[in-house]
Amino acid sequence: MRKLLLIDCCIRKEQSQTKRLMEAFLHAAPADCAVERLVLTEENLAPLTGDFFAQRQRLLESRDYAHPRFRYAKQFAQADLVVIAAPFWDLAFPALLKIYIEQVSVDGITFGANEKGLVGLCRGTDLVFLTTRGGFYTGDPLEMGSRYLDALHTFFGFDRYHCVAADGMNVAGIDAESPLQTACAQAQALAASLYNKKRACLPMISRQAFCMFRLF
């Protein structure tokens, strides 16, 4: 049975349009798929500062991966498919999602490096980003959230990255329900297709590119 890790960063919860898009994707997932839902607004996530950061440094230096604070990274690395749902905020996504990403970016669990460069360690094949946006930002250089996650899919070792976005939901004269319904249909089609894809061979990232990432 394949493991699907659903990372729910829908800040408005039941009033969230992004949540509707997320549920549409889940509706099309195979029945034999084990879904593990992580609701970030219900987690006690903290930024890497002060003593919390210093503790992480000590644990990484000693390779003490058994510590409970690495549970998010292990969960992320062991999923066959990772789906992230978050709205478009401030050209990217809510800060809560970035804090979570810092928790899963663990050298030795989700990524590693050797003399040739970076090696992603996650077992997952596909990283999916589901989002809703007030304006039209698909392909716009101002949009940073999807572009960032696209880079991370290689960083962590996923084969493929997919983004389904409902654009233009707050544009005057456009019925918000229309782009949302279109995106929901796209999300369902994507979910149905992902389980027929095989693992691909990933290129290794150069050491120069690896050094551009913050390592903790």
Q: How many CB atoms lie within 10 A of CB 175?
A: 10
Nearest to 76 by CA among 160, 187, 163, 158: 158
Query: Half-sphere exposure (CA, 13 Å, Cβ side) for 148?
Result: 14
Looking at the predicted structure, is the pLDDT value of residue 10 above 70? yes
Confidence of residue 64 (pLDDT cuts 50, 70, 90): very high
Q: What is the pLDDT of residue 42?
A: 97
Looking at the predicted structure, is the pLDDT value of residue 197 above 70? no
d(CA 50, CA 57): 11
Q: What is the pLDDT of residue 207?
A: 43
Looking at the predicted structure, is the pLDDT value of residue 214 above 60? no
pLDDT tens digits along 103-158? 999 999 999 998 888 899 999 999 999 999 999 999 999 999 999 999 999 999 99
Q: Which CATH number do you get for residue 109?
A: 3.40.50.360
What is the domain range of residue 110? 3-210
Q: Is residue 215 part of a domain?
A: no
Q: Is residue 48 part of a domain?
A: yes
Q: Is 157 left (phi over 0), alpha (psi -120 to 50) or beta?
A: left
Q: What is the pLDDT of residue 33?
A: 85
Domain count, the chain: 1
CA distances from 87 to 21, 145, 214 (A): 10, 9, 25
Q: Is residue 200 part of a domain?
A: yes
Q: Is residue 23 part of a domain?
A: yes
Give the mean pLDDT of 59-79: 96
Q: Is residue 216 part of a domain?
A: no
Give the mean pLDDT of 67-91: 97
Q: Supply φ then ψ for residue 114, to 5 degrees.
A: -135, -165
End-to-end CA gap in the chain: 33
The owner of tokens 């503790």 is 55
Looking at the predicted structure, is the pLDDT value of residue 211 above 60? no
Packing angle, helices 95-104 and 71-78, rounded to 10: 80
